[in-house]
Amino acid sequence: MSTPQRVLVLNGPNLGRLGSREPDVYGSTSYAGLVERCTALGKELGLEVEVRETNDEGEMIRWLHEAADGKLPVVINPGAFTHYSYGMRDAASQRTAPLIEVHISNPHTREEFRHTSVISAVASGTIAGFGIGSYELALRALV
């Protein structure tokens, strides 16, 4: 039996507050619920899913380097880093496996500053607006 493909699901600032942060925008699923859903679907799909969250841009960049060095696929919700972190964009551009950008809400239906992603141009694809289901669609796309 082969070893499951390892996948990193990386989450940027404030995503650890899911369930309590603006539930009308981000839904009522808690961060723990997100982790549970991603790891359960991963098992179903034959993936070893590791879900991480940080409010620290440097840590996110180190994780992207880890993924590039290990040839690991990434599902990433950069949070607010989406719109301005060129350091994170440069780290994501070094990817050696698919990288899928996800967003719980649809940034294009929100404030104008959210309409631009510096990550999209270096991602394999972007999935937005399907709530927590955006992560599930991304994991399925990796398979």
Name the residue range of residue 29's domain.
5-142
pLDDT 10s digits, 119-130: 999 999 999 999
Sorting pLDDT into bands at 50, 70 and 90, what band is 78? very high
DSSP 19: T
Is residue 105 marked as binding? yes
pLDDT at 109 over 60: yes
- Entry pTM: 0.89
Active site residue 103: yes
Candidates 26, 31, 84, 135; catalytic one: 26
Query: Domain containing 58 — which CATH number?
Result: 3.40.50.9100
User: CA 27 → CA 34, 48, 82, 105, 117, distances in Å?
Assistant: 11, 25, 20, 9, 22
Is residue 83 marked as binding? yes
Candidates 31, 84, 86, 103; catalytic one: 103
> What residues have CB less than 8 Å from 143, skipping those under 6 apart?
45, 46, 47
Number of domains in the chain: 1
